[in-house]
Amino acid sequence: MITLLYVVGQTAGWLACIYGAAHERHWLGVLAVMALLVLHLVIRANRSLRRILTVALMSLLFGFCFDSLLILGRVYVPVRWLVPVPWATIWLMALWVNFALIVDVPLRWLQQHLGVAAVFGAIFGPAAYLAGQRLGAIRIAEPIRFHVAVLAVAWALGLAALMLAARWLPAFPPRTSAPTES
């Protein structure tokens, strides 16, 4: 049941970011992902707040560099909002925080299976960009087949690297309540 909740949340966050960007409501995705992050923190209250926020920050920084390199390499062009070219824009960074919410829960097993993570990245990474193009949030450069292949290689390496980094992060102890004084 928890996995289904995360899949629904991940999809809702992705759609909010893509729809918001495509319809000049960029804030929509940012707010949706912030709400999902708060929900994640509530659901995972028994987990380390520090671990959750570290994974989110790591994913955000990784995604900023990853997408900025793809934009700089002219692989695709996102709908812009607030951040100048060639940097990844805010709604793209929100997508990476959204993705971080599933790194330690339903996709945790990929941290131990980097080859599978690479295959998943090669398939689902480009699929997300193609869907984003179809919905109007990005434009993949011509020739599309070549640039989709670039996305497949980038995502194969990128998802494996992100999962490896998550595996190497320490498992911070859960926050416990402060002892009461007698």
Is residue 178 domain-resident? no
User: 54, 42 in Cβ contact below 8 A?
Assistant: no
Amino acid identity at 139 = R
pTM assigned to the model: 0.87
Q: Is residue 180 part of a domain?
A: no
Q: Has residue 154 been placed in a domain?
A: yes
Residue 9: give the domain boundaries: 2-168
Average pLDDT over residues 168-172: 74
| Residues in a beta bridge with 144 | none
User: Is 45 a member of any domain?
Assistant: yes
Does residue 150 form part of some domain?
Answer: yes
Percent of the chain predicted with pLDDT > 90: 68
Q: Residue 182 pLDDT > 50, yes or no? A: no
- Provide the residue type at 27 as one letter: W
pLDDT over threshold 60, residue 73: yes
Provide the β-strand partners of residue 140: 76
- How many structural domains compose the chain? 1
Within a domain: 60: yes
For residue 122, being part of any structural domain is answered with yes
More confident position, 103 or 73: 73
Residue 176 lies in a domain: no
Q: Note the pLDDT tens digit of each residue in 118-161.
A: 999 999 999 999 999 999 999 999 999 999 999 999 999 999 99
Residue pLDDT, tens place only, 77-113: 999 988 888 899 999 999 999 999 988 888 888 999 9
Mean pLDDT of the chain: 90
* Contact status, residue 162 vs residue 100, Cβ threshold 8 Å: no
Q: How far is CA 76 from CA 57, 107, 130, 150, 162, in A?
A: 24, 27, 10, 10, 21
> What is the per-residue pLDDT for 56?
92
